[in-house]
Chains A and B, each alone.
Chain A
Amino acid sequence: MYSALQPAKSRPEASTSILLELALDTVPRVLGLCDRNAGSVTGGCCDRNYWHYRLLDVANARFQEAGYLFALAYDTAAPQNAFCGRQRMADWARLAWRFWLGQRNRDGSLSEVYPNERSFCATSFSAAAFTETIRLLGGAAEWGRELELSRPTFQWLAKNENVEVANQMAASWLALAGYARLTGDEAIARAAQKRRARLLLSQWEDGTLAEYGGLDVGYQTITMSTMARILCLDPEDRELQVALRKAEAVIRPRIGPEGECDSRVNSRATQYIYPYALASLRSSLLPSILSGLTAGTVLRPSWLDDRYCHAMAVDYFLAYREIAACS
């Protein structure tokens, strides 16, 4: 029974460990979505509607971001994490990325819904998760072959963009910056710098990172989370730090004391909030989110559908790790 049903006075104090518990809760579900049989033709595919139910003629590339979730579960040390250090998790992460490499279009782009779609969103987010996984699981020394094979994807990202949607622009920036950092590829590093300039220039004076012409608190936190991950690659980027602070300031009045947010006024009507950037900024909004999670007023990763639960769980892992590292 959710604690929202309890009177406020009797609720336990919000604890950051709830972030880890909720992230861990989704891991068995996402593992179940994935074809974990390395010998199978679809080994590593995490779109169950494609490989298992056979309802679709194309596997959604965004499901492959599960590889990053497996890597985080493998790498996050905590007494309650039964996945930590289990080699199978690292193997399944690699298997997911091998399938991703094989499912790309000839030009390196990826599809979400129909063949030859060349989805900027799917390519950006999955490529970013790919580089983040490699950073976590051994770096270029362990993943040299995969990095070499993946180069066309990053070249495609360097040539394509979607300026109307800040969260996708940020994801492509993280992907390009991550790849450049891992490989030392100068052309991709220049593309990452250009993408950085495009995104930071597009931020409104009040801090909004626009989604189809307006502020959407849910997507704003996704964009902020991605930018906070880029800041880990370059902690000295002052302009990025300022942009993140401004982005946080604009959503502050839109989030209530128990993390509640009116989705009707969001430009894309999102209902959720990603906590990682708030954790990395030590934002005063984070206790509200934690309180909302305990109270049942904030959406949890496991409440999202198969397509989005893993991405949100990744953010919960990152938020937990950020706080645990500083405590």
Chain B
Amino acid sequence: MLMTTGRLIALRLFNISLGRSAWANKVLRRLLVRALIGRQKRDARYMASSRFFQMSELN
């Protein structure tokens, strides 16, 4: 799921309001992990794994 302007605004509004609370942050984090990783099929999951270029890709 890519970041959009609407999502960014919603996230920042949360960050500066309810997000001041560590408990609310934890809840949001848990919900996002469930939505973006847990419920997705393996190939559609968002995983912050950094894959860089390797010379073998030229072949």
Q: How large is the interface on A (under 10, 10 to 19, 20 to 34, 35 or more residues)?
A: 20 to 34
Residue A303 lies at the interface, judged by CB distance under 8 Å to chain B: no
Chain A residues close to B by CB (< 8 Å): 28-29, 31-32, 36, 41-42, 50-58, 82-83, 86, 88-89, 115
Task: Knowing that A28-B52, A54-B2, A57-B4 touch, tell me 18 more A-B residue pairs with CB under 8 angstroms.
Answer: A28-B53, A31-B52, A31-B57, A32-B51, A32-B52, A32-B53, A36-B53, A36-B57, A50-B2, A50-B3, A54-B1, A54-B46, A55-B3, A57-B7, A57-B8, A83-B58, A88-B57, A115-B5
> B47 → chain A, closest Cβ, in Å?
10
With A and B bound together, what is the CA distance between A51 and B48 in angstroms?
A: 11
Which residues of chain A are near B55, meaning CB under 8 Å?
A: 28, 82
Q: Is the Cβ of A56 less than 8 Å from the Cβ of B58?
A: no
B15 vs chain A, min Cβ distance (A): 13
Cα distance A54–B45 when bound, in Å?
Answer: 13
A contacts with B: majority SS? loop
Contact A56 B53 (CB under 8 A): no
Chain B residue nearest to A41 (CB atoms) is: B2
Given A50-B3, A57-B7, check contact A82 B53 (CB 8 Å).
no
Closest B residue, CB atoms, query A28: B53
Most buried by A among B3, B4, B7, B55: B3
